[in-house]
Amino acid sequence: MTPRSDGEPVDAVPESPARVLLLKLLVLLTLTTGFIYISWRWTASLNFDAWWIAIPLVAAETYSLIDVALFGMTMWRARQRPSPAEPSPSATVDVFITTYNEDVDLVMATARAAKAIRFPHRTYILDDGARAEMARAAEQLGVGYITRSPDWRNKPLHAKAGNINNALMQTDGEFLLILDADQIPRPEILDRTLGYFDDPKVALVQTPQRFTNVVAGDPLGSQAPLFYGPIQQGKDGWNAAFFCGSNAILRRDALMQLGITRYVIELEEALERALRGARRVIARARRHPAASRADVRAALDDVQSAIVDARRSLHGGRPIGRVTFELQRRIGAISSALVEADLTLIRADLDALRELPVVSDEHVDTVSDVGTTVDRLTARELSPLGAIESVQRLIRSLDVDRHEEAQPLMPLATISVTEDMATSMRLHALGWSSVYHHETLADGLAPDDLGTMLKQRLRWAQGTVQVMLRENPLAKRGLSLAQRLMYFSTMWSYFSGFAAIVYFTAPVVFLLFGILPVDTTAAEFFLRFLPFMIINQLMFLVASRGISTWRGQQYSLALFPVWNRAVVSAAGNVFAGRPLDFVVTAKSRQVSSGSWRLVRWQALVAVVLVIASVVGIVRLALGVGEPIGTAVNLFWVVFDLLILAVLVPALRYRGYPEEGETHSHDDTEGAARGAA
């Protein structure tokens, strides 16, 4: 394995003030010309006769402009950090190597390198596969070996986040270096990064992910020099550099604080939900015939106001245990008074109670469990007594032990398959800071076939969209406006697949049918479009500091089926509770890596583009087609085909001999900047 020479992050390249100024100027000019162009497009150029293509096209262009604006904002504060201070010699560090099914040899290579890290530390292999062979190898090498504790039996495992959360409870280092099984750390990794933690607010230091098993030309677009470079540096400028799952150092105290804060929030949410459900149950009970009696009605009123009081004191900050206890006591008293008042009510209720859903006193405190219980309860027509009884059971079932989870504290977020991004967003919301340290301190392995690469990209995209739908940064309290936009920027970039489809369709529609979505003259169009396009490309050129961004741009558009599938499946997961691989397994089953079926949608698009071009040229020759429009659209066809061409070498790539899956974010973001 020889490290690649191109694009290797170099630390502390002096930032010329002239470049910074030029970049800011280009950002402002891009935004100005972009705004002029897009407002003209919306107000004066739409061909309403062809609204079905005109509206999607202008919407796609607006999407891209917002993408560019967010990129510009990212670049506004892109900064090279000076080298940090020497680490405090008393710092204690645990190095975690996470593995599930990687080869023992591969993991041990990482473990040997981890053991050889210069700064004093303890190394642990976190083996989610619980393999005896791995345990033996760890013992031989003299490193720690951690598997899930018995608490995790029959509980949700939460993949890598769960693996790390489990290890957090069994170790005690002040700082944690997280490494994927195939990320070989360099000996100086801790010496170069721990110094940042002298600032007591710093919770996270992320370093780049670089891959050594990548051939020249990087056919699979594995390296992400733009992301692990200007983009993370730009986010860093806004204190929004985020955790990418590996090659990062975390402060234990920050994670634990996050775990505890989340624990309390989730308990409160569960109680809140139970109280809302209780109100619904009572509201339904009022419609029961027995509720026409004055005393019954009064009892229901009392329960209702007890619930209202409980919510009020919960919001007022009363301890959760107190609130539920008082509520139970009040409802208990109301219910026994009612029973004493009229024993005949009981008989009527016996049947109803028998039909009650089984809510064992033991266990219902998860947010989702409470949700289903409430749903089941409110779906029934309960008699008033039955309703009161079921409200009592619902409240009693709330408990603080989070029995549905293996451990009450889950410092690493479990709401997404990209736990890393969600975790750092929550840390930022708690007021912690992050650092992006731009220096390669670990050498990793990238997937080396197209099929694996596509699965990995799909997973990142799904995870990012999951976070966006579950905990939208724009609405997240505790984040600054800039932090909100920085997280949103990454999420927004994964919606490019929909824009790509429109961009592919527009020229086809013109070349086949002569329908232009833009109703204007060529001069009017170019007058507004060209300045924006040229300045935008210049901004991109300066921002990327000579790093080639073409591969990233190609993949951003060419992988449109992956992005779209990710968005659809993540939405299905968040809103309908469908598993994420609901779509994926169905479609990728039995597709061997390198198979053309992996890129069938792109192939279809390419064929349609070529056919449309031939038709367009024939129409032009026959005198039906319009010359300038045809020329412009043929240009876009060529551009689109060049974009899609990235998949040809990717498909033919047979890879490095090494294997392994890694986890990082890629250059999707920051690509597809060309609006149109």
By the criterion CB under 8 A, which residues form the site for another protein? 169-170, 172-174, 252-257, 259-261, 263-265, 267-268, 317, 319-322, 324-325, 328, 361-362, 396, 399-403, 407-409
Q: Which two tokens stand for residue 203?
A: 């919770």
Cβ closer to another protein: 272 or 659? 272
CB of 313 or CB of 537, closer to another protein: 313
- The answer to whether 30 and 64 have CB atoms below 8 angstroms apart is no
Our CB check for another protein shows the closer of 357 and 431 to be: 431
User: Among residues 173 and 451, whose Cβ is nearest to another protein?
Assistant: 173
The Cα 219–Cα 214 span in angstroms is: 8
Minimum Å distance from CB 361 to another protein? 6
Q: Are residues 499 and 254 in contact, defined by beta-carbon separation less than 8 angstroms?
A: no
What minimum distance in Å lies between the beta carbon of 373 and another protein? 18
Q: Cα(first)–Cα(last) distance of the chain, in Å?
A: 41
Nearest residue (CB) to another protein, 267 versus 646? 267
Q: Are the C-beta atoms of residues 634 and 497 closer than 8 Å to each other?
A: no
Place of tokens 């169009």: 525
> Is residue 288 within 8 Å of residue 381, measured between CB atoms?
yes
**How many other CB atoms are found less than 10 A from the CB of residue 588?**
17
* Beta carbon of residue 241, minimum distance to another protein (angstroms, whole number): 22
**Comparison of 363 and 654: residue with beta carbon closer to another protein:** 363
CA 602/CA 153 separation, integer angstroms: 44
Residue pointed to by tokens 């449309």: 612
Closer residue to another protein (CB): 400 or 645: 400
- What's at 416, amino acid-wise? S
Q: Based on CB atoms, which residue is closest to another protein, 306 or 559?
A: 306
Q: Which residues contact 336 (CB under 8 A, 6 or more apart)?
A: none
Is 403 in contact with 173 (CB distance < 8 Å)? no
Least spacing, CB of residue 674 vs another protein, in Å: 47
- The residue (of 99 and 165) whose beta carbon lies closer to another protein is 165
Query: In Å, what is the CA distance from 659 to each residue of 98, 107, 130, 453, 656?
Result: 16, 12, 21, 12, 8
The DSSP line for 470-483 is HS-GGG-TT--HHH
Distance CA 663, CA 667 (A): 13
Distance between CA atoms of residues 520 and 528, nearest Å: 12
Q: How far is the CB of 363 from another protein (least distance, A)?
A: 10
CB of 428 to another protein, least distance (A): 17
Contact 402, 365 (CB under 8 A): yes
What is the nearest approach in angstroms of another protein to the Cβ of residue 166?
12
**Cα–Cα distance for residue pair 355/379, rounded to 1 Å:** 12
**Tokens at 126, concatenated:** 């976190």
Work out how close the CB of 400 gets to another protein at its nearest, in angstroms, rounded to a whole number: 5
Whole-number minimum distance, CB 237 to another protein, in Å? 28
Structure tokens at 36: 């002029």
Provide Rg for the chain, Cα atoms. Answer: 29
| Cα 664 to Cα 209: distance, rounded to the nearest angstrom | 7
Q: For residues 289 and 321, which CB has a smaller minimum distance to another protein in the complex? A: 321
Strand partners, 234: none
Q: Which is nearer to another protein, 267 or 650 (CB)?
A: 267
Of 650, 243, 221, nearest to 464 by C-alpha is 243
Which of 174/524 has CB closer to another protein? 174
Distance CA 108, CA 125 (A): 9
